[in-house]
Structure 1
């Protein structure tokens, strides 16, 4: 048995004012079933697809059974969610006739990728056959997949905030008197306050050094560089493919807020039709911490190759950030504009 004052540091609580889960050793759980149910309804009722056959949209959620939770064990987050849902859709043909049907998803869970979901679309029994059914099966299913993927992304980013607490062995704040030479350690360390805040409009709190990482992506779009360039900085374009309210000031130094404020940042460099650089952050990241995102556009005949570099992503957020850019930027642009 350890002597008084020599116990396992994982159990010492005196060093934390809140005496909560020191070093993330204990199992903690957060029930997010209520938020999940509300958010799934909001996302699904926003599904609307249009084609030469007419227009279809989800009008009601008839069944939404399941649960969701976030668990923390030894600093590792474990996500659990399992949902079964059924929604009604209303279609209006190009000639004005109305048709009704249903969409069912039986296996939305942490064990299945969004692309592997079983999504079935059918007409109500009293409805005659219509080309709108093909529209829902062809395009509606993809849109349902997209919004369910957005739910999973928000669950793993926004609602994991605060589940993993700073530990007594974690990095310490940099003393303010350190010189710039001593503050800059490596590309994997978020550095001085002055480096992170490029504008006096952004007051900086005391800088906290955190471990960060970077990643690169490459994507080809079937459009010209000037069209793709506008898609990333124009407020109307962003609002269309993100399907939510956005605020964008498309000039150097201009601010933006996307996905109802979940994403925010500032354009730091804009080279017309060639390059976009921005300070970019997700709302749940440490306060005032921004990643640096650069987008290089190069025309190749009828195509444009986009090369992306993202630096300064908080450690542990790399996979969700990469997945978010692929799904909610690249794939959404292609599905919305046909690029």
Structure 2
């Protein structure tokens, strides 16, 4: 057999450091069912829409049946997924009345275009008529469609890492997103002429940076403790949390929806952390810098966020305002004006 770069090109086979699946020629398959199940739940739970009539939120994924897998043959990726899911939504009117209903997606699969996906929204039988039903049927259904589209995108980026193995020059062959309607072909993705980044660099995604500001009627030392003390975090998050308030310490809260690590702590002045939501691409973290400034009888908090996925910008902003700023003020009575 000729060595790489020598001999008759018809018989050259690329050398591989791991000596496996040369040129990505052999069929390999990866089961994505468990990963998909967790990803779909993470994306759907907490999804919410709101207008002048009230607010609706997905509070439970009661049914999630199906399977997903990815196959690699000759450097081409073939995706298969088929899901039947049902979720519970809870609506609350401006007058405080609660309503419950369901969202059903009977056939999320590679056979259907996302814009043609059937989404059924219903009220529970014992519930009275409410304008919130219209909200869920329009904006709610569209948001469900968007997050299910995000699941497909994550399946084709985050979960496919390592499926296309590096060739002799250490780069992987990528695939374009040409999709087939025939189920027997399982949405074949054709090879493109471009190359992906070197192996083990992860999936590059577009990110953004933004800054939030708010003021709290308390001192910098007390506000600093709110973010690094486990008991205080559990209090304003209203759920169990793990918080190791030291440099290099880990944190995990909201049932694992948020996690990260403290990378720099300047007592009463600054907190820097690696921070992520569990629906972000695997191992992707944003850098969050909290700066506390003494403003006489109150503290100004500046939150600088860098490396947030573009698609998650608005949701991340709203999450910080709702689960941090508003929750801290309500729990500890630090209410102050919003910049």
Tell me the TM-score normalised to structure 2 length: 0.52
What is residue 103 of structure 1 aligned with on the other side? 103
Q: Compared with structure 1, are the counterparts of its residues 144 and 17 closer, same or farther at alpha carbon in structure 2 (3 Å cutoff)?
A: same
Residue 120 to residue 235, structure 1, CA distance change in 2 (3 Å): farther
Equivalent in the alignment of 1:62: 62
Distance 1:280 1:22, change over 3 A: farther
Task: Answer whether contact 1:255 1:264 (CA < 8 A) is retained.
Answer: no
How far did 1:265 drift? 7.2
Q: Which residue of 1 aligns with 2:125?
A: 125
Aligned pairs for 1:10-21 (under 5 A) are: 10=13, 15-21=15-21
Asked if residue 50 in structure 1 is aligned to residue 33 in structure 2, the reply is no
Residue number in structure 2 paired with 1:152:
152
> CA–CA distance in 2 between the matches of 1:62 and 1:189?
41
Q: 1:81 is matched with which residue?
A: 81
Structure 2, unmatched stretches of 5+, are 173-193, 200-205, 215-256, 264-271, 288-305, 318-339
- Structure 1 residues 138, 171: closer, same or farther in 2, change over 3 A? closer
Aligned equivalents of 1:24 and 1:127: distance in 2? 56
Any idea what SS the aligned residue of 2:166 has?
A: coil
Q: Classify the secondary structure of the residue corresponding to 1:159.
A: coil
* Equivalent-residue separation in structure 2 for 1:120 and 1:332 (angstroms): 28
1:164 aligns with 2:175: no
The 1:9/1:170 distance shift into structure 2, 3 A limit, reads farther
Q: Which moved more, 1:142-151 or 1:67-76?
A: 142-151
Mapped partners of 2:213, 2:157: distance in 1: 24
Could you say what the CA RMSD is over the residues aligned between the two structures, in angstroms?
A: 5.0
Q: Counterparts of 1:331 and 1:43 in 2: how far apart (Å)?
A: 12
After TM superposition, the structure 1 stretch with the greater mean CA deviation from structure 2, 35-44 or 23-32, is 35-44
1:278-317 correspondence runs (5 A): none
1:142-221 alignment to 2 at 5 Å? Answer: 142-168=142-168
User: CA-to-partner distance for each residue in 1:70-125, whole Å, 9 max, x for gaps?
Assistant: 11111112221111111111212222222111101122122333333211111112
The Cα of 1:31 is off from its aligned counterpart by 0.3
Partner in structure 2 of residue 93 of structure 1: 93
CA contact (8 A) 2:16 2:167 kept: no
Question: Cα offset for 1:59?
Answer: 2.1
Aligned residues: 231
After superposition, the C-alpha distances for 1:205-247 in whole angstroms (9 at most, x for unaligned) are xxx69xxxxxx9xxxxxxxxxxxx9x845499xxxxxxx7599
What secondary structure sits across from 2:154 in the alignment? helix
CA spacing shift, 1:23–1:42, aligned 2, 3 Å: same
| Residues 62 and 264 of structure 1, relative CA distance in 2, 3 Å threshold | closer
Change (3 A) 1:106 1:69: same
- Say which structure is richer in strand: 2
Residues 130 and 265 (structure 1), Cα distance of their counterparts in 2 relative to 1, 3 Å cut: closer
Contact 2:171 2:196 in 1 (8 A): no
Deviation at residue 18 of structure 1 after TM alignment: 3.1
Aligned to 1:201: none
| Contact 2:171/2:195, CA 8 A, preserved across alignment | no
Supply the distance in 2 between the matched residues of 1:78 and 1:190 (Cα, whole angstroms): 17
For residue 20 of structure 2, give the secondary structure of its aligned residue in structure 1: coil
- Decide whether the 8 Å contact of 1:235 with 1:246 is kept in 2: no
